[in-house]
Amino acid sequence: MGSKNKLRRFAENEGFTNVDQPDRDILLKNDFPHAGKWNAFFGKDQPLVLELGCGKGEYTLGLARRYPDRNFIGVDIKGARLWRGAKTALEEPLENVVFLRTHIELIDKAFAQGEVSEIWITFPDPQIKFKRTKHRMTNPEFLERYRRILKPGGRLHLKTDSEFMHGYTLGLLQGMGLKIHYSNHDIYRNEGAPEEVTEIQTFYEKQYLEEGKPITYLSFSLES
Ligand SMILES: C[S@@+](CC[C@H](N)C(=O)[O-])C[C@H]1O[C@@H](n2cnc3c(N)ncnc32)[C@H](O)[C@@H]1O
Ligand 1 center to 155 CA (angstroms): 20
Task: Please provide the average confidence, as pLDDT, over all residues in the chain.
Answer: 97
Instruction: Report the separation in Å between the CA atom of 194 and the middle of ligand 1, taken as the mean of its atom positions.
Output: 23
pLDDT tens-digit profile of 45-67?
999 999 999 999 999 999 999 99
The one catalytic residue among 76, 125, 161, 186 = 125
Buried b (16+ CB within 10 A) or exposed e, 139-155: beebbebbbbbbeeebb
Residue nearest to atom 27 of ligand 1 (CA): 55
Residue 168, C-beta contacts closer than 8 angstroms, at least 6 positions apart: 126, 136, 138
Query: Pocket of ligand 1, candidates 59, 104, 210: which has the most ligand atoms within 8 Å of its Cβ, to mutate?
Result: 104
Among residues 82, 116, 78, 109, which one has the least CA distance to residue 98?
82
Q: Is 108 a catalytic residue?
A: no
CA 98 / ligand 1 centre spacing (Å): 16
Q: What is the pLDDT of residues 63-115, one digit of tens each?
A: 999 999 999 999 999 999 999 999 999 999 999 999 999 999 999 999 999 99
1 pLDDT exceeds 90? no
% of residues, the chain, pLDDT over 90: 98
What's residue 98's pLDDT? 98
Cβ contact 180:156 at 8 Å = no
Q: Is the pLDDT of residue 10 over 90?
A: yes
From atom 24 of ligand 1, which residue's Cα is the shortest distance away?
A: 53
- What per-residue confidence (pLDDT) applies to 34? 98
User: What is the CA(125)–ligand 1 centre distance, in A?
Assistant: 7
Average pLDDT over residues 150-174: 98
Asked whether residue 116 carries a pLDDT value surpassing 90, the answer given is yes
The protein residue with its alpha carbon nearest to ligand 1, atom 5, reads: 55
Work out which ligand 1 atom sits closest to the CA atom of 54. 6
Can you count the helices (H) and strands (E) in the chain?
A: 10, 8
What value does the mean pLDDT take over residues 153-175? 98
Half-sphere exposure of 191 (CA within 13 A, CB side): 0
205 lines ligand 1 (CB under 6 A): yes
Q: In the predicted model, what is the mean pLDDT of residues 206-218?
A: 97
